[in-house]
């Protein structure tokens, strides 16, 4: 009986710039313009399917970081920064300019972090944007879209299906409850919940 020479698929691979991951189910590679520290891993190059950053460093990752089933969607001028000892599981980072994540941050499944609205807010602007993006439109005539960096400080936990919107800073040690929509800053050590997110009393075990 013939022996297969195909590499066995493994759960995680070292996050190595420019690498093709052996046994990866997605036929892609890790972008060359990333910097990653020791023992940082990723499950598939599919995480970079919408990574279009063109800068010298489009993604900077610290040491001992796990990126699992997480979409790292970055526009051409974007930079995503992730500190040490972070775990991102099935989340989505959507970055036009900058998303900065500190160390010891846990991001659960279904979380979305975005530094832009990606469309105008007012009705007239939305119509103009739709026209500019149409097949007969002119993309250079798109109305201005709001963009503000997102900063998540050290030791933050973000629960299932939470959404972090543009311009938000989440202070060190804060907790974002599952399904919360965060549209304003969260002070350090505070737990928030709801839509829009508001401070709630911290639960103790």
Catalytic residues: 119
Are the C-beta atoms of 53 and 33 separated by less than 8 Å? yes
What are the beta bridge partners of residue 101? 82, 152
Q: Please, where are the H alpha helices in 4-153?
A: 123-133
Are the C-beta atoms of 9 and 33 separated by less than 8 Å? no
Separation between Cα atoms, residue 79 and residue 97, nearest integer Å? 6
Long-range contacts of 69-75 (CB under 8 A, 24+ apart): 69/43, 69/44, 69/109, 70/107, 71/47, 72/47, 72/48, 74/50
Q: What is the SS3 assignment for 149?
A: coil
State the number of CA atoms in the 13 A half-sphere of 69 facing the CB.
7
């Amino acid at each position: 009986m013939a022996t297969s020479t195909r590499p066995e698929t493994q759960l995680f691979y070292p996050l190595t710039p420019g690498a093709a991951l052996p046994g990866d189910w997605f036929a892609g590679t890790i972008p060359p313009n990333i910097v990653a520290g020791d023992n940082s891993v990723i499950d598939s190059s599919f995480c970079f399917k919408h990574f279009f950053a063109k800068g010298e460093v489009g993604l900077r990752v610290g040491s001992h970081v796990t990126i699992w089933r997480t979409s790292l969607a970055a526009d051409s001028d974007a930079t995503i920064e992730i500190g040490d000892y972070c775990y991102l599981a099935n989340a989505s980072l959507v970055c036009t300019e900058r998303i900065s994540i500190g160390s010891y941050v846990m991001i659960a499944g279904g979380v979305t972090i975005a530094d832009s609205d990606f469309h105008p807010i007012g009705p007239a602007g939305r119509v103009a944007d739709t026209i500019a993006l149409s097949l007969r439109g002119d993309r250079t005539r798109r109305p201005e879209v709001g963009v503000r960096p997102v900063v998540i400080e050290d030791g933050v936990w973000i629960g299932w299906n939470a959404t972090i919107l543009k311009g938000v800073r989440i202070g060190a040690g804060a907790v974002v409850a599952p399904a919360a929509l965060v549209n304003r800053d969260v002070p350090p050590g505070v737990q928030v919940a709801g839509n829009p997110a508001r401070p709630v009393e911290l639960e103790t075990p």
